[in-house]
Structures are given as structure tokens and as C-alpha cells.
Amino acid sequence: MDGGLLALLLFLVVLIFILAGFPVAFTLGGIAIIFGLIIHGADIFYILPLRIYGSMNNFILIAVPLFVFMGLMLEKSGIAERLLNTMAYLFAGLRGGLGIAVIAVGALLAASTGIVGATVVTMGLLALPPMLKRGYSPALATGTIASSGTLGQIIPPSIVLVLLGSVLQVSVGDLFVAAVVPSIILVVAYMAYVFFKAWIDPKSAPPLSREERKNFANGKNILKEIIVSMLLPLALILAVLGSIFGGIASPTEAAALGAMGAILLTISQKKLSLPILKKVMRDTTQLTSMVFIILVGATAFGFVFRDLGGDDYIISLVEGSNLSPRGFLLLVMAIVFVAGFFIDFIEITFIIVPIVTPIFQALGLDLVWVGILLAINLQTSFLTPPFGFALFYLKGVAPPEVKTSHLYRGIMPFVIIQLTLLTLLLFYPDILYVFR
């Protein structure tokens, strides 16, 4: 069989096994080894370890466990609860004010943690019961919390951008800078939708009563409360992103700074203890191991796929189809969006993106621009049924009266907002470089 067709067969077999429910890492690595044995015989067991070691020796990837540790430690600090209460007071007089406060806190937590699961669970526990108690419709409440929790996919420092930078072989710092404007647009668009929804349907998002605002302010120095609750996470964000944007530190070094800053913030809130430290370290190890074992399998898959000439075969197909560079990019975005319904963003990053990256390079596309488009597209994978992980996280902590149908209806407007932003950036890429 022709090498290109054999490469496509490899991809098809891997996809079938993943959709059948087999573990992704072992499916990628195991099937790649079987195809490698067909090509190279026993030599594949000598070639693959060298290739895997080269991938794992990537200094940028050290940022992954450090950012995970930072996010998990901040989750334990109690800052999110204090920040949510303060934001709710600030936006209390607006229709949909509590929903807008949730989005603002979600954005700040995203910039501080970058971990979707931690943010969604934290916001679900803290914000969902008060929103339902104050008369918010379950669909709007759950949609707002789930979508604001996924902002960590695009707002720097984002683990997704770190992984995409590694796969696309572009500067993670450049991706962080390029992500600033889309992040701001997305947050503002979310807030605008909640405000508009509350304006046309006041019963779905009523404002806080004057009595509730008085109860919050009772005996408190409001100015001090605002400064303290916002200053700590903002200081951490500025320390991490400022050191990257200012050229003082690499993303990996800034991640280490963020991890230490998260520990100090937790100490300042008197929440740090040995059991919490052990749990954060254990969870960090588990999450990091999951990412890296998939990377090992993906490296094996990528090596065998390229060795079969799969990337050259796809390039020849694209050239033969007379697709323009933007047309091919649209096709890839459609594939990634559909794949997000069924498989995780990490799997998409390590399976699909390495295959199409050489084609993007051959077509002369700006890989930083492509990386931001992919990050926004991958963000939708957390929200789109049937396997939207943000929906699972939120359903797990939601009260019994919140149905799965509420979650599905609630996230649809936010998915449309994300796709609208994706389309905007696709046709107006200069938006990314406002701060360059």
C-alpha cells in the first residue's frame, strides 16, 4: 500500500479506537508501534525512545505542571469567594449584575489559574446557589458559569496556549500577547449578552435588592474590601504576565513565579496547611501525568505518521484541491470544532494539530494567528455536548433542580459568541496585534 494511504489508515484506526472509548495515550502509542513494526521491524523500539526523549526534553513544557500547581493552590486560597462577593456588590444595581460579576470573577480566575475544571467547580459551588436563590433562570445561570469558567483556555497564562506553542513551534510569549485582545473582546461580549438578556427578560436575571446590598456593606469598609479582594489576584497576574510581556522572564520562569506567588497568597489568607499542600501536589502530579502520557503517545503517532509520508500526502491533496490557504484553514477549524464534540482539547492538540502544522507552514500562514484561532476553537470543546467537560464539572456540583437540558440551553448563546469571535479573527487577523 502507498505510504500516504497507509498514514491515513493509521489516523483512521486511531480515531475509531478513541471514539470506541479506548485510552487515548495507549491507543496513540500502541497503534503507532504496530504500524512502526510493519515499516521498520524491531528497530522501531530503538528509534521511538530517542524521539520521545527529544519531545520530553522541551523546556517550555515545564510550565505545564507549574501553572497547574498555581491554579490548584489558588483554588484553595479562598480568594474566589471574597472576590465574587465584592464583584456582586459592585454590579448589584444592574439587571443581570450577579451574572456580570460571575463573568468578571471568571476572567480574573482564568488569568490567575488557567484551569477550567477548578474554575468551573469553584464558581459552581460559590455562585450557582445564590443566582438560583435570587431568581435567575437555571439556563442563564449555568450557561454564564460554565462559559466564564472556560475563559482560562484563552486568557493568558493558558495551559492550552503553552501546549499549542510547543506543537506549533512558536513563542508562547507571542501567543500570550496575541491572546490579550481576543480575551478582552470575549469577556465584554459575555457581559453584554447577560445585560441584554436581563434587559429583554428581567425575570431571568433580576438585580440584587437594596436590602441585600446593605447586608453586604454592613460593618465593612467597602473600599478596603474592594482593594484587598482585587489587589491580590491582580498582583499575581501582573507578576506572571508582566514578567513575560516585559521580556524579564520566559513563560516557564514566570510559571515558577506564579506557583510561588500562589503559595504566598494562600498563606496570606491563612488557608495553607500540610494536608492542602499534599492534595495540591498530588492533583498536580495526576493532571500533569495525564497530559504528558498523551504527549508520549502523540509523539509516537506523529513520528510514524510523518515517516509514512502522511504530511506530504495531505499537502499534495490540498494543492490538488486548489483550496486557498484561508479555505484550508476554514476546513481545519470546522474539523476541530466537530472533533471537540467527542474528544478532549489535549487529544485534539496532540493528534490533529501536529498533522496540519506542516501544511500551515507550507501555505505561509502566520502560526501565532493560527494558534489563537485554535485556542478559541478548542474553548468551545468544553461547552459543546455531548462531552463538554465544563458541563460535566458544573452538573456534578449543581443542585438537583438543575437539569442537563438547562445546561445545554444555557451554553448555546455563549458558543455562538465564541464562534462569532472566531469568524471575526479569521477575516481580521490584525486585531491580534494591537499591543505589538
Q: Please choose, from the candidates 343, 336, 333, the residue with its C-alpha nearest in 3D space to the C-alpha of residue 388.
A: 343
Provide the angle, in degrees to the nearest 10, between the axes of the packed helices 63-77 and 274-307: 150
Output the pLDDT for position 422: 92
Output the pLDDT for position 435: 60
| Residue 323 forms part of a structural domain | no
What DSSP assignment string belongs to 224-270?
Answer: HHHHHHHHHHHHHHHHHHHHHHTTSS-HHHHHHHHHHHHHHHHHHTT
Q: Which residues contact 71 (CB under 8 A, 6 or more apart)?
A: 112, 113, 114, 115, 118, 119, 152, 262
| Residue 86 forms part of a structural domain | yes
Output the pLDDT for position 188: 94
pTM recorded for the entire structure: 0.80
Report the domain count for the chain. 1
Output the pLDDT for position 124: 81
Q: Please choose, from the candidates 115, 84, 69, 76, the residue with its C-alpha nearest in 3D space to the C-alpha of residue 389.
A: 115
Centre a 10 Å sphere on the Cβ of residue 361 and count the other Cβ atoms it contains.
15
| Residue 117 forms part of a structural domain | yes
Would you say 125 and 399 are in contact if contact means Cβ atoms under 8 Å apart?
no
Output the pLDDT for position 215: 62
Output the pLDDT for position 222: 65
| Residue 281 forms part of a structural domain | no
| Residue 195 forms part of a structural domain | yes
| Residue 138 forms part of a structural domain | yes
Would you say 2 and 9 are in contact if contact means Cβ atoms under 8 Å apart?
no
| Residue 107 forms part of a structural domain | yes
Output the pLDDT for position 367: 93
Output the pLDDT for position 424: 92
Could you list the mean pLDDT of each consecutive 10-residue stretch along the chain, which spans 436 residues? Answer: 74 81 80 84 78 71 81 76 75 79 84 70 79 86 89 83 87 88 93 91 78 61 70 80 81 85 85 88 85 80 80 72 83 85 77 86 90 91 76 79 85 92 90 71
| Residue 296 forms part of a structural domain | no
Output the pLDDT for position 218: 59
**Domain coverage including residue 373:** 58-272+368-433
